[in-house]
Each structure stands twice: as C-alpha cells, then as structure tokens.
Structure 1
Amino acid sequence: MNHFIFRAIEKKSLNLLISKVKFSSSTLGEYQPIFHGAKDTKNFRIYYQKNNQMISPFHDIPLFSNKDEKILNMVVEIPRHSHAKMEINKKEYLNPISQDIKKDKLRYINNIYPYYGYIWNYGAFPQTYDDPDHVDETTGCIGDNDPLDAIELGTNKQNRGAVIQVKVLGALGLIDEGEADWKVLTIDINDKLAPELNDISDVESKLPGVLEATRDWFKHYKIPNGKPANKFAMNGRFFDRDFSLKIIEKSFNAWVNLVQEKENKKAISLVNTSLENLNTVSDQNARQKLEEIFTDADILNSKSEKNLTEVEKIYYIDRSKNY
C-alpha cells in the first residue's frame, strides 16, 4: 500500500522521512495526506501538507474550493465499504485524522444486513463546526461538537485521506443520542454522474435506492451495540440543496466564532498555519512540535488491533420492531 510514513531517525527529521503517496491527480490535488504509524492501531494518524507546509484539515483547508460555483472541499475520512471509524481529531495538534476509540478499543462499524461497512464515501467539511452551545432550529437539538459530516454518493470508492471537490445535493437531519448530526449528501465533481445530479430531486432517478438505504442505515447502525434506533428531523425527510447550503453556512459561521474565541473552553486544538490569528504557528514550529510527538514505537512496535472475525460479522435487524 502506498503511503507516507514518518519515522523517528537521526533527530527525527521529517523532511528526510516523507516518501510521496501515489494518489491520482483527481483525488490528491493540492492537499497531500501524510500517513503516520500503522493502520488499525491507536497510533495511526493522517496529517496534511500543502505546498510543503504542514496544515490542519480542520482549519487550514478552505470550505469552498470554488465559492462562486458553490463547490466545496470534502475531507474523506472513510472510504466506501470500509469499517474503521475515522474522524478529524479535534483535540490533537494540527487535527490529524485518527480512529475513534471507545472503552480503550478502536471503533469499527457493524455490518447490518444487507449493508457492508459504510455504504458511501464518508467525511467532513473543513472550516465547519456544529456548536453544542447552540440549538439547531430544525432538529431542536444541540450541535454534536464536530465538523459537519459529508456523504459522497458517487460511483467511485475514494481514497482515505483524499481531499475532493464536491457539489451539494441535499441533507438528512439525523438526531444521534439527542444531538443534531446533519449528514450532507454530495457528489464528487469528477464523477461521471455529477453533471446529472444537481439537487436532491435528481438522486433517486440516477441512484435508485440510495436515499432509502441511507435513512435505513443511519437509523439502525447502532442497534447491534445495544443502542436505540436513531431519529430524524421531519420524519427522515431529505432536504434540498438550498436548505443544505444554509446548514453549511451556519456551521461555517460557528467555526469562525470558534477560532476567534480568546478562551478555548471546549479543549479543541485551534492550531493552524494560515489563519493569522492567535493560534497560528509557522511551518517550522509545526514540524518541530510533530517531531516531539513521533516515536519509533509508533511504527516498530505497533500491531494491528483489528479483529477480522468481528468486523466481518453480519447483524440482522428486525425492522418491524419499534426500537
């Protein structure tokens, strides 16, 4: 597998230890993911650089790739049909992508019949934030304290860590354990179906079944873990593109307020290399800080914690029950 790896050798020099990943130009673009450690371990991280400068995928990648045409950047955390629950790490320095941990174990999504892993490419919009201090008007719930989630519906499986340019189609208002957790549906602008998909009303004719499968997946995916079924705003209605862009705008404004806070009360790392605010650091300082974090043990002593038997298990959900 082609990837970047950081190793701690001879003063832990990052510049000596980066070997380029071979993504195609359509999926790599100007943002280069840097893979650190071994996948399926607690040490695995994906950092980013642009023009040889370290960046935060949360703060330094702009929300819009082309604002006039409303084309957005999406950070792909989880490729279609994979299971590892990866996400932008809000608390760590430069916000790398890491695998979620629960009860000291790495999180993997269950297979709920007839689905296998995540059924779309899943990720987040940079420079967005769902503020838990504010109540979302549509769902009546507080924000989930995360960047805004994005789902890419196209015909291709994306690379983990890729930054792709997407067109917004619609949104689903998930209520996850009492929190507003909007899922914005998108299409990669380079997908062969992109010219034919411009709004939520176009989706069913070109991608039959995907909307119902999306609603069904989000409703039931936590049931194998003993959790109740999730609920939705407006009984699971899919909102159109215009409404979705307003949700994105609100989330962007919440992020602006977040990075401008003089006192960070949410334990979120606001470190960046481009915003020119109180939390901005130079590329040199960012690299020096990361060099202090990296150790030989991250790579040499890491063993996969993935239990393949558990990950491949199929769960059958009785959808006639009122969970």
Structure 2
Amino acid sequence: MSFAVEERGNQNSLNYRLFFKNAEGKYISPFHDIPIFADESQNIFHMVVEVPRWTNAKMEIATKDLLNPIKQDVKKDKVRYVANVFPHKGYIWNYGAIPQTWEDPAHKDTDTGCCGDNDPIDVCEIGCKVCSSGDVIKVKVLGILAMIDEDETDWKVIAINVEDPEAKHLNTIADVRRLKPGLLDATVSWFRKYKLPDGKPENRFAFNDEFKDKDFAIEVINNTHNSWKDLISQQAGAGGLNCKNTCVSSADSPNRCTAEDAEAAVSQTCPCGKEEPIPSSVDEWFYV
C-alpha cells in the first residue's frame, strides 16, 4: 500500500496544504482513509508524519478541513513555529499521528481523569532517518506517555519505523531506555517545557511522568480506534471535525465524498507556488 502527496499553496504560509493520494491517484483523507494497521497480526501501525525531526513548523492534519490535508497551525493569524527550548532544536523525533484514531473530547479517561483532545493519537518516531512531512510509514509501538495538556488527555505513542536498522533491537520501552539513554527523559522535558516561551504553564503527566509499556500503548491505540469508528459512523458527535472520506465503506460511514467532489475541492485551493522565507526568530533559543 503506497501513498503520495500533492503540494498546494506556498510553504511556510497560511495557504499551504499537503493533500494525500492513494496508489490509484485518488484523493484521500489521511485521517480517515489510510488504514490504522499496516499489519494487524503483528501490531504494526501506519503513521502519518506531520513534522520532520529538527524542524520547527507546527504541521498537522487539518481535522476540520475537507480531506484533512496537512497544513501549518495558525496562531494570531500567523503560521506557528515551535520554539527551541535549550538544548533542543525543533522537534526531537519525527512527529505525527496514527490514522483512524480519535481522542474523544466527550470521553473522560479513567487513567488521566481528563477527556480527549479531539485529535488523532500522536506518535513520536525515534528512528535514525529524518522523514518528510506527508510520509506514511509503518511503525512498531514501544510505549506511551500520558500528557495532560490544558486539562486534556494527549497521549504520546513512542514508536520506531519498522525499516529502521535498529528496529529489530527495540521492542519495549525498556529497550529504548537501555539503547537510547537520555531520549525518554528528553521527551518528557520537551513536552513539559515547549509551551513556556509562549507564556503558557508547563504540561503535566499521569503515572508520575513514567512511560507505560507496549501492551498498554496498544490498548490505548485500539480504544482510540474504536472512538474513531463511532465518529465516522456518526455514533459520536463530530465536534466540528470534517469526516468526509473517499474510501471508508459506505456501510460504515455516511460521509462518503465522490472522487469528483474531492478533485473539485483540491482544484479550488491555491496552486503550488514559491516557498515563503522562515522568520529568523525561529532560530532563537530559549533558556527555561
């Protein structure tokens, strides 16, 4: 199963979009149309890469837009960049989401005591390759961190690309701590502090800041997949999310979008143009 992306608009601007296509050249939603599993029998999941490692642009699946392209988050009418909190430069992993998952904002998690954040579940991919925004990779889950962001549950799955040369040696969260010393501590520190330069408080975590193991993580992912099934079948309130899709079975989803409608929607967006410059302020370091 292969996927491709089509750029529209100007990178680093408000109009930039990355639309997804399947192997047949049909426009699809990365939120709804890419299967959660790459190999269900082996618990191998698809991951949609939103932010490549070492970059700052806060790219994300546009859950409220038709076909859910990747776009840059916006703050105060400007595209958003994540600050560099010393000693880190941008994101310290390839960051993205598992498709066909949803953290239900109406469901209070029994472990965190908080409701979901209304997004697909997040993934930190810790392999050696720096991916590109829009890559769809196959990942092996290693563990999970329960972050509480502004009183919302925001799970962070730790995973590795199955094609990474180290993947065969990494099977548990304990393996990560042993073979990549410092990475898990840096991950907690990064998520705790990354909003401080914006004047927001530190994020906090359930389970005394500890990572849960692979089996726990897979259970959480499966639960968010079940929540997505309720979302796509209209058994749960959409909360402003766009559930239009081109590939989900019509028996499971009342929100099918024809290929012609999808093409028409993409054609109405800005054509691909020259990349906008990244502000020099993005390279600033913050010491907190």
> TM-score category by the smaller chain?
over 0.9
Q: Does 1:294 align with 2:266?
A: no
Partner of 1:312: 283
Partner of 2:167: 194
Instruction: Tell me, yes or no, if the aligned pair for 1:106 and 1:305 is still in contact at 8 Å.
Output: no
Change (3 A) 1:63 1:265: closer
Q: Does 1:33 align with 2:5?
A: yes
RMSD across aligned C-alpha pairs, in angstroms? 1.5
User: How many residue pairs get matched?
Assistant: 284
* Alpha-carbon separation, structure 1, partners of 2:185 and 2:221: 23
Among residues 89, 97, 105, which one is paired with 2:78 in the alignment? 105
Q: Does 1:73 align with 2:49?
A: no
Write the mapping of 1:225-240 to structure 2, written as runs, cut at 5 A: 225-240=198-213
Partner of 1:246: 219
Partner of 1:279: 255
Change (3 A) 1:245 1:303: closer
Give the superposition deviation at 1:45: 0.6
Structure 1 residue runs of 5 or longer lacking an equivalent are 1-28, 318-323
Among residues 191, 202, 227, which one is paired with 1:218 in the alignment? 191
Q: Once the two structures are superposed, what CA deviation does each residue of 1:224-279 show, in whole Å capped at 9, x if it has no partner?
A: 11111110001111000000001101100110000111785511111111112321
Q: Which amino acid aligns with 1:282?
A: T
Instruction: Tell me, yes or no, if the aligned pair for 2:142 and 2:172 is still in contact at 8 Å.
Output: yes
Among residues 78, 96, 106, which one is paired with 1:133 in the alignment? 106
Give the superposition deviation at 1:285: 2.3
* Alpha-carbon separation, structure 2, partners of 1:179 and 1:138: 12
Instruction: Tell me, yes or no, if the aligned pair for 2:125 and 2:160 is still in contact at 8 Å.
Output: yes
Secondary structure (helix, strand or coil) at the match of 1:147 reads coil
* Alpha-carbon separation, structure 2, partners of 1:63 and 1:154: 20
Write the mapping of 1:57-206 to structure 2, written as runs, cut at 5 A: 57-206=30-179
Q: Does 1:43 align with 2:18?
A: no
* Alpha-carbon separation, structure 2, partners of 1:187 and 1:248: 15
Give the superposition deviation at 1:284: 2.1
Give the superposition deviation at 1:295: 3.8
Instruction: Tell me, yes or no, if the aligned pair for 1:77 and 1:97 is still in contact at 8 Å.
Output: yes
Q: Compute the TM-score of the two structures, normalised by the length of structure 1.
A: 0.85
Q: Which amino acid aligns with 2:18?
A: I
Instruction: Tell me, yes or no, if the aligned pair for 1:124 and 1:147 is still in contact at 8 Å.
Output: yes
Secondary structure (helix, strand or coil) at the match of 1:267 reads coil
* Alpha-carbon separation, structure 1, partners of 2:88 and 2:53: 11
Give the superposition deviation at 1:283: 1.5
Give the superposition deviation at 1:281: 1.9
Q: Which amino acid aligns with 2:98?
A: F
* Alpha-carbon separation, structure 1, partners of 2:140 and 2:205: 23
Change (3 A) 1:79 1:303: closer
Instruction: Tell me, yes or no, if the aligned pair for 2:15 and 2:270 is still in contact at 8 Å.
Output: no
Give the superposition deviation at 1:303: 6.7
Q: Does 1:209 align with 2:185?
A: no
* Alpha-carbon separation, structure 2, partners of 1:268 and 1:220: 28
* Alpha-carbon separation, structure 1, partners of 2:256 and 2:65: 15
Q: Compute the TM-score of the two structures, normalised by the length of structure 2.
A: 0.95
Change (3 A) 1:295 1:116: closer
Structure 2 residue runs of 5 or longer lacking an equivalent are none
Secondary structure (helix, strand or coil) at the match of 1:68 reads helix
Secondary structure (helix, strand or coil) at the match of 1:238 reads coil
* Alpha-carbon separation, structure 1, partners of 2:104 and 2:246: 23
Q: Once the two structures are superposed, what CA deviation does each residue of 1:79-99 show, in whole Å capped at 9, x if it has no partner?
A: 000000011001111000000
Q: Using the aligned pairs only, state the percent identity.
A: 43
* Alpha-carbon separation, structure 2, partners of 1:107 and 1:216: 21
Q: Which amino acid aligns with 1:220?
A: K
* Alpha-carbon separation, structure 1, partners of 2:238 and 2:124: 29
**CA radius of gyration, larger in:** 1
